[in-house]
Structure 1
Amino acid sequence: MAHYRAPESKREQFRRYLEKTGVLDTITSVLVALYEENDKPNNAVDFLKLHLGASGVEQEDTESLRMELADLQQKYNLLMEENKELRNRLMQYEPPPEGGAAE
């Protein structure tokens, strides 16, 4: 019988945690919105995701940012290569620094 009470206690703790953090209120409000929807969506999970803030738009934004990052990384690499090349050309026309210390 003691074994039966332990899981019940954990469930009760978890339920209180969900109430305290507002998860139950949020889920309830989204489910009420779905219930009150006149034209029920074909995909209820997508409806829930959209109303909980986990929409596909964020995934598109993430992909867009990844593509922008790759583009900027490529531009950075080209500029670094150009910088290296220009430094080498500049070194041909400037005398080496006195004392032999390189920058």
Structure 2
Amino acid sequence: MAHYRASDSKREQFRRYLEKAGVVDSLTSVFVSLYEQPEKPTNALEYVKQHLGAVGQISSNTEALQQEVIDLKQRCARLTAENKDLKAKLQQYEPASEDGSTAN
């Protein structure tokens, strides 16, 4: 009987571990989502895998996309500054028309 209680205690510790890590909430969320699907997918296991995997992928994809946005903003700023400099240099070589604008 003592062996049964020790095993029961380990199960309880494992259950608390899963709850603390958010595993129980994630699984519950996926199962509820599957339950609420009007048309059940033909492969329920694949559905669960995709929806559980999506949680981790979103955060890594989001981080990569955020870095890409930062890089592109920096590139845009550099190109805008370069464009401004080139326009200023071009103004030196273009004759001004009589109304004050540059000739095209």
- Structure 1, unmatched stretches of 5+, are 55-103
- Structure 2, unmatched stretches of 5+, are 55-104
1:77-92 equivalences in 2 (<5 Å):
none
Coordinate RMSD, CA, aligned: 0.9
1:51-66 equivalences in 2 (<5 Å):
51-53=51-53
Q: What is the distance in 1 between the residues matched to 2:50 and 2:2?
A: 42
Q: Counterpart amino acid of 2:18?
A: L
Which position in structure 1 is the counterpart of 2:13?
Answer: 13
SS where residue 42 of structure 1 aligns? coil
Give the TM-score taking structure 1 as reference length: 0.51
1:1-103 equivalences in 2 (<5 Å):
1-53=1-53
Runs of 4+ in structure 1 over 6 Å off: none
SS where residue 3 of structure 1 aligns? helix
Could you tell me the percent identity over the aligned residues? 69
How many equivalent pairs are there? Answer: 54
CA displacement at 1:14 relative to structure 2: 0.2
Q: What is the distance in 1 between the residues matched to 2:3 and 2:45?
A: 36
